[in-house]
Chain A
Amino acid sequence: MNDQRTPLLSVRDLKTYFFQDEGTVKAVDGASFDVARGQTLGIVGESGCGKSVTARSILRIVEAPGRIVGGQILWYDAKGQPTDLTQLDPDGHQMRSLRGREIGLIFQEPMTSFSPVHTVGNQIIEAIRLHMGVSKAEARRRAIEALRQVGIPQPERRIDDYAFQLSGGLRQRAMIAVALSCDPRLLIADEPTTALDVTTQAQILDLLRELQQQRGMAIMLITHNLGVVAEMCDDVVVMYLGRVVEVGSVDAIFHQAKHPYTRALLRSIPAITTPPRVKLHTITGSIPHPYNRPSGCPFHPRCPERLRGLCEVAEPALRAVGNGQSVSCFLYENRA
């Protein structure tokens, strides 16, 4: 039971800022959420809301001039002992033995995620040899096995192909094979299907779910596609401008969304029952410029339900509203 309750990863008030000449971009500004063991957590939000930077912060591969300036990233090992990843040396042995071994990463663009001058196999074998300490021949055998598991036909031959020789779908499968080659406990999938056509998207999502069931790994799925979230996730984190505005189970988010931003996001999905030639619902205004964040609640300039005199001055905190659901909005302050 205890094993079920302790999370695998717990992000607490994470702040990752980019220090540029023009000013500081607060890409992630106080995000908190948990990833449960063996479950799928969806992280949704518009472009530039800090989803990807959160993922890179967890792996400690945020590039300069970006830096984690605050908060904790607690990683719970198999015995349930937490390690704060923000305290580790990003290039040190401990962090590197997590990267690729315990936490796998797949990216949006499978073409450019592979080196153009190394074979797919070279990059899988590299990861296996690095973390598993096996011989070259054994690593190659495991790499072929990994390619077979993600449904790549003729893996013995494909292993010596370059990424540009594979089709988009096979490339993303190969990417998954690299990420899962060392049997990680957490897979971070950053927009894994965005660059693929709809049929291939569905296949890749099916594959991820299947592999998750076989291995019992947790998935952190970063996407702006709410359809994918509904299909894949157990829990959902909604981010806006580097902050978590709402957290809840997938049912709660889709059926009882609390935050005006989440509700606006859901309204903007076209349904199959939507009559044709009707203007799609959009969120008014646009995402503020990163150097020019609004005061108070970051969403207040676009919010249809803002409370004058409150939302533009004070920042709401994330608070529980029951049922495992939390929201950061003054509309719910009194009731909580």
Chain B
Amino acid sequence: MLAYILRRLILALITVIAISILSFVIIQLPPGDFITSYIASMSAGGGTVSEAEVEALREQYGLDQPITVQYLKWVSQIVQGNFGMALEWNRPVKDVIGDRLTLTVIISLAAVIFTWAVALPIGIYSAVKRYSIGDYIFTFIGFIGLAIPGFMLALIVLYVGFRYFNANVGGLFSPEYAEAPWSWAKFQDLLAHLPIPAVVLGLSGTAQMIRIMRSNLLDELRKPYVMTARARGLTEMRVILKYPVRVAMNPFISTIGYLLPYIVSGSIIVSLVLSLPTVGPLLLKALIAQDMFLAGTIILLLGVMTVIGTFISDLLLMWVDPRIRLERR
């Protein structure tokens, strides 16, 4: 068991290193660099940049050096906790990302809680009462939820909120708290704003999860251990919740690791529409501006979080599933 954990840890470390190389290479791939897009945006605005200025900027950011040197410099800085400068913002990357990352995690968590709280009971119901009217209704709604793009739903929510409730549902904070330092009141304000983005972001995942839970559980319900549990005289409710549901849940635990990057990358447009201060829109802007330190850091952090999430889900799986825990190796 210890060997299992150790092996996972080493694999995780190798994965992180690979991710750091990949994310650096990917942001270098488009032609040009931050300076060229800086020049482009300056001349689009009617200004000019002198040749000497360009050279000075290149040197300042180390852009004139070979890519391997740039990578090694970047990584060695990161190891020391310095993520470099967000070129466009002219502030340290850490400051630019900090709050947004926290808020992204909070929104993701809220979306996940919404998804699980809604999808699991419905999935169980749909499987147990297969082909009932309720199952058909939930299946119908589920497919609609799957088919509606998130940004579309976000727009509808915005429109309905504005038109009928005269409420501005965008953002995560009321205007008076947006720039305020953290306080209990600000936190409560956040909680009040959280449900709508959580529902919008979680809906397609919910529909998907209902389908997966339903089919997982249908497979399990056919197994003999369910019938022997019934034959022991348990109530039907207890039979289903204790045995097949428990087994059908396992596959979900292994998806915990992908939740964060899924929410971030799948939600950029939704976040723009709902003006959520999350990492998604920031990443988009950084990529457009070829702000490689900012974009690189975001991609790297998402990668690392996925690896950590996967590691945690591996541990959880080991805890809940004795077949994995007792596997002899």
Contacts and interface: CB of A to CB of B under 8 A. Distances in A.
A18 B9 CA distance: 52
A61 B231 contact: yes
B223 interface: yes
B232 interface: yes
Nearest to A104: B231
Contacts of A113: 224-225, 228
B231 A114 contact: no
Contact of A115 (B233, B243, B250): B243
* Main SS class of interface, B: helix
Interface string B222-242: 011101111111111000001
Given A115-B243, A117-B246, A164-B323, A101 B225 contact: no
A116 B225 contact: yes
Given A107-B224, A107-B227, A109-B224, A116 B323 contact: yes
Contact of B233 (A118, A131, A165): A131
Interface in B235-280: 235-236, 242-243, 246-247, 250
A91 interface: yes
Contacts of A179: 231
B30 interface: no
- Size bracket, chain A contacts: 35 or more
Interface in A122-160: 123, 126-127, 130-131
A99 B231 contact: yes
Nearest to B221: A63
A59 interface: yes
A114 to B, nearest CB: 6
A98 B228 contact: no
B160 to A, nearest CB: 40
B270 to A, nearest CB: 37
Contacts of B233: 96-101, 127, 130-131
A99 B235 CA distance: 11
B321 interface: yes
Interface string B179-211: 000000000000000000000000000000000
A332 interface: no
10 contacts: A61-B230, A99-B230, A100-B233, A114-B228, A115-B225, A115-B246, A116-B247, A116-B323, A126-B234, A127-B233
Closest 10 interchain pairs by CB?
Answer: A100-B233, A105-B231, A100-B232, A99-B233, A96-B233, A127-B232, A112-B224, A61-B230, A91-B236, A115-B225
Interface of B: 223-225, 227-236, 242-243, 246-247, 250, 320-323, 326
Interface of A: 56, 59, 61, 63, 91, 96-101, 103-105, 107-109, 112-119, 123, 126-127, 130-131, 162, 164-165, 175, 178-179
